[in-house]
A = this chain, B = another copy of it.
Amino acid sequence: MSTRTRTGRRPGPSSTRDEILRAARRRFAEDGYDRATFRRIATDAGVDPALVVQFFGSKQDLFGAATVSPVTLAELAATPAVDSSASPGLRLARLLMLWLEDDGARQALLARIRSASSEPAAADVVRRMIGDQLVEFARAMDGDRTDVRASLLATQFLGIVFARFVVVAEPLASMTGDEIADWLGPTFDLYLRGPVDDSRPGRPAQA
């Protein structure tokens, strides 16, 4: 799979603005909102700090621009790499683990998760992401309580990202994306397709 296909970006000379955005994304991903400074981001991008301010104004605005993933889950789902005869849950698990392999997507997600812990604006972005990105997959399953199902998918995914990349906890940090997807698949199938108990609306049916 070429870079062109993965990211949807045309190859070509990158502008100073793009350099700053990439440096900011990496820095927010590694250090979180509070510790990522304009000065450090400017140094990483090889420009004057005043230029960063000139381009983006506030730190919140820079954060917002830098943490948009260069490739969306929907774009990635449309690539042939994730087609398979696996269950919907396993397909989604593989898709999410593949998404994390894209440097830009992973850094954007990590930047948001790390920053959400202290910066309300970042928490707001994560909140909307939970609602928006995964609800389409839950909705495609045509079940009840789509909002709950999408949220549960998101929490399991967020927990994996947190343990694997923020806390770097073993054995998760060393497992391959495929190995993790194999464990997540059945869980995602439960969340996507598990029946709701008719006698207790909103609750899953217990085995």
Contact = CB atoms under 8 A, between A and B. Distances in A.
Interface residues of A, number: 56
Contact of A163 (B31, B158, B200): B158
B151 A171 contact: yes
A68 interface: no
A87 B207 contact: yes
A76 interface: no
A131 to B, nearest CB: 7
A148 B175 contact: yes
A34 interface: yes
A202 B171 CA distance: 11
Interface string A91-120: 000000000000000000000011111100
B117 A113 contact: yes
Interface stretch (A14-22, A37-45, A53-61, A186-194): A186-194
A182 B145 CA distance: 14
Given A159-B154, A202-B179, A206-B186, A117 B171 contact: no
A130 B114 CA distance: 18
A114 B113 CA distance: 10
Contact of A159 (B155, B169, B186, B200): B155
Closest 8 A/B residue pairs (Cβ): A159-B159, A155-B159, A114-B117, A117-B117, A32-B118, A158-B159, A182-B203, A34-B34
Given A34-B118, A130-B167, 20 more contacts: A86-B206, A113-B162, A117-B166, A118-B118, A148-B171, A148-B183, A154-B169, A155-B159, A155-B160, A156-B156, A156-B187, A157-B159, A158-B158, A162-B162, A179-B202, A182-B200, A182-B203, A186-B204, A186-B206, A187-B187
